[in-house]
Structure 1
């Protein structure tokens, strides 16, 4: 197994352990046993649990940024862009569940040295979604709402889903994403023009 392949195996196993047992409760010894390697061998690939945590965060945010940048190049309309952002986050509940929990629950525990780079990447992603909302407002597809607050609302809607989503349920992540998008873009009022309050 190559160095990169082994590192990837460790990251994936650690993310699953952190999801199942909690970050603080999982030890380097637990990770080594799960992989089937000696603890000193694990330290050959990662110097600490915090370094593994940084790698999980980096892999996760890089994946989201790559997908977002691909869509930007494709020139999708704003409403489609927002749907795909929601799909990205919700589909990761199937493909990267452990990464998702670790990303949202433990980013404050990243080593100090890793914080600025990770914060910059998170900000880049947030700014990309905010720009999409601004573009939708400018083109008249979306109402004139505060773009950053709207982006944060979208993230809040999707990011919390890992707490209740279970694989094998009646809806697949993309189906949940579409329903969330429908609620987010169209609202819940039966008659959109009706004043409710």
Structure 2
């Protein structure tokens, strides 16, 4: 009969992933060793291998776990709010809040995914593209005219540019904290979207030829 997992196994795995993400974020995936991860977790190297077979497995679990949490968050908000105009600020606020509590994992996703083999990298980036697609669809539903002019995805990418790199410059508590910053990001983006005029080149290319 197979022996079941010990109590606390999943908690220990989560703690190991958090410590590994912290080390990868601060000193890089390549420069981090399994010995360092074991020391940070207060484990022997042999005990660490009981939970994860190697450093690559840690990287895969960190990156994929983070992006799948983001996808679950999008779906959760969609289930809560059907109105895309109301949903957009909720999505933005929830994502900024999530990044605040997962900065190490997010840095690993943005910087160390390049070390994954193609199959793993494409699977994880595929989930990331799905997250962006949900935002694009929400923007297009809130502003159908922008969707018709194929501006929904570029706007979604601009929004992610704002959110994704907060951790590179923002220092919480000086004087704002993340709960203060999240609505500011939403307000900035939404005010811009609501008042946005499509570039003249987009307008002219969208016009029927006989209208000239």
Q: 1:95 aligns with which of 81, 87, 101?
A: 101
Rg comparison, structure with higher value: 2
Matches of 1:143 and 1:94, distance apart in 2 = 34
TM-aligned CA distance change 1:68 to 1:109, over 3 Å: same
Preserved contact between residue 32 and residue 42 of structure 1 (Cα < 8 Å): yes
| Unmatched segments (≥5 aa) in structure 1 | none
The number of equivalent residue pairs is 191
Q: Which has the higher contact order (CA 8 A, sep 6+)?
A: 1
Q: Quick check: 1:124 aligned with 2:106?
A: no
Q: What TM-score do you get using the length of structure 1 for normalisation?
A: 0.85
Q: 1:187 aligns with which of 188, 192, 202?
A: 192
Matches of 2:196 and 2:114, distance apart in 1 = 42
Matches of 2:196 and 2:53, distance apart in 1 = 58
Q: CA deviation at 1:59?
A: 1.7
Please give the root-mean-square deviation of Cα atoms over the aligned residues, in Å. Answer: 2.6
Q: Deviations over 1:96-144 (max 9, x none)?
A: 1211111111122223342232122112111111110111113x79996
Preserved contact between residue 50 and residue 111 of structure 1 (Cα < 8 Å): no
Preserved contact between residue 21 and residue 104 of structure 2 (Cα < 8 Å): yes
Q: Quick check: 1:164 aligned with 2:184?
A: no
| Cross-structure match for 1:70 | 76
| Cross-structure match for 1:35 | 41
Q: CA deviation at 1:20?
A: 2.2
Q: Quick check: 1:150 aligned with 2:155?
A: yes
Q: What TM-score do you get using the length of structure 2 for normalisation?
A: 0.80
| Unmatched segments (≥5 aa) in structure 2 | 1-6, 198-212
Q: CA deviation at 1:19?
A: 2.0
